[in-house]
């Protein structure tokens, strides 16, 4: 696969921000178009529980304060804000923050910050927890970005992360199929947003939906659909498929990591006691800041 670990070969110049402006702009447009309010409660709950299944909510302090790095539409912050005393929602896109503000308008314990990993506006060692889901693989230097997050945590505080996986446990034909799709992503992601949205909606209807429904049917008749392309969407709505097709094919910067590469990045960032979720979505991992 040749997936990159995101570790810089040389220090980044001080005047170069660790973000891709076009990628940030694209996500702002995506969350305005798909603000996630059309997702059903049951589907949201299933996804939330999948991403947070290994997160130690029950071991957080009573007055826990933490952050959501790359909050996007605020879809995960809605579930977290109800469980903690204070949540900082951080995103470099003003459009995304606007969507998150509207989504979380009734949560008085949420504070919004227009910022990226280079300038997280929180004191070092001040946070009881942190998480970043589906974000750090869209940043030029993933290791540096994670280090910037971890430094904000108190010793022993948990950090939850989701990074795209490198298909290391998939068959060779599956990886070859992904390579073809990645060439398509590189082309689609260069289009204007309206065109990206149209193309990815067509992909959702002609690729995601049929393959997901085929996997659902296969599962019902007893077939192992683990390696079926897009089988992870067999319980998803078409709305989610449209969102994720745009997310997947409309994003300019994307990196993928093996499980061991993620473990190495987390360890190098100052995390220990790292655990992985062994089911989809891959890879969700949680570690604690070293004391």
Residue of 170, 130, 134, 133 lying closest to 153 (CA atoms): 130
The pTM (predicted TM-score) of the whole model is 0.92
Which of the four pLDDT bands, split at 50, 70 and 90, describes residue 207?
very high
In the prediction, which pLDDT does 226 show? 86
Tell me how many helices (H) and strands (E) the chain has.
Answer: 10, 7
> 21-166+256-289 adopts what CATH topology?
Rossmann fold (3.40.50)
In the prediction, which pLDDT does 14 show? 59
Which segment of 1-15, 76-90, 96-110, 190-204 scores lowest on mean pLDDT?
A: 1-15
- pLDDT higher than threshold 50 for residue 269: yes
Domain boundaries, given as residue ranges, for the chain: 21-166+256-289, 172-249
Mean pLDDT of 146-154: 98
Determine phi and psi for 149, rounding to 5 degrees: -75, -50
Average pLDDT over the chain reads 94
Distance CA 93, CA 100 (A): 11
In the prediction, which pLDDT does 25 show? 97
Mean pLDDT of 239-252: 96
**H or E element at residue 86:** strand 86-91
Distance CA 139, CA 120 (A): 15
Backbone region of residue 223 per phi and psi (left: phi > 0; alpha: psi in -120 to 50; beta: other values): beta
Between CA 182 and CA 200, with CA 23 as vertex, the angle to 5 degrees is 50
Only one residue has tokens 């702002």, namely 28
């Amino acid at each position: 696969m040749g997936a990159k670990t995101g570790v810089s070969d040389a220090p980044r110049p001080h005047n170069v921000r660790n973000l891709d402006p076009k990628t940030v702009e694209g996500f702002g447009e995506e969350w305005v178009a798909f603000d996630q309010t059309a997702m059903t409660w049951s589907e949201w709950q299933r996804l939330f529980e999948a991403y947070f299944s290994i997160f130690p909510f029950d071991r957080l302090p009573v007055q826990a304060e933490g952050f959501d790095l790359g909050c996007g539409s605020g879809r995960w912050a809605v579930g977290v804000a109800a469980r903690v005393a204070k949540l900082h929602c951080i995103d470099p896109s003003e459009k995304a923050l606007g969507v998150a503000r509207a989504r979380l308008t009734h949560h008085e314990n949420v504070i919004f910050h227009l910022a990226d990993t280079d300038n997280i506006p929180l004191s070092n060692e001040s946070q009881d927890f942190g998480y970043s889901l589906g974000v750090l693989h869209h940043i030029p230097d993933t290791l540096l970005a994670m280090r910037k997050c971890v430094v904000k945590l108190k010793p022993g505080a948990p950090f939850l992360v989701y990074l795209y996986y490198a298909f290391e446990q998939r068959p060779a034909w599956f990886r070859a199929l992904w390579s073809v799709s990645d060439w398509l992503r590189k082309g689609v992601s260069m289009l204007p947003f309206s065109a990206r949205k149209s193309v990815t909606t067509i992909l959702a209807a002609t690729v995601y939906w049929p393959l997901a429904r085929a996997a659902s049917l296969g599962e019902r008749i007893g077939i192992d659909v683990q390696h079926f392309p897009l089988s992870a969407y067999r319980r998803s709505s078409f709305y989610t498929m449209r969102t994720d097709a745009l997310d997947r094919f409309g994003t300019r910067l994307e990196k993928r990591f093996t499980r061991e590469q993620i473990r190495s990045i987390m360890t190098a960032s100052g995390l220990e006691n790292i655990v992985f979720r062994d089911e989809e979505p891959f890879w969700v991992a949680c570690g604690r800041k070293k004391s």
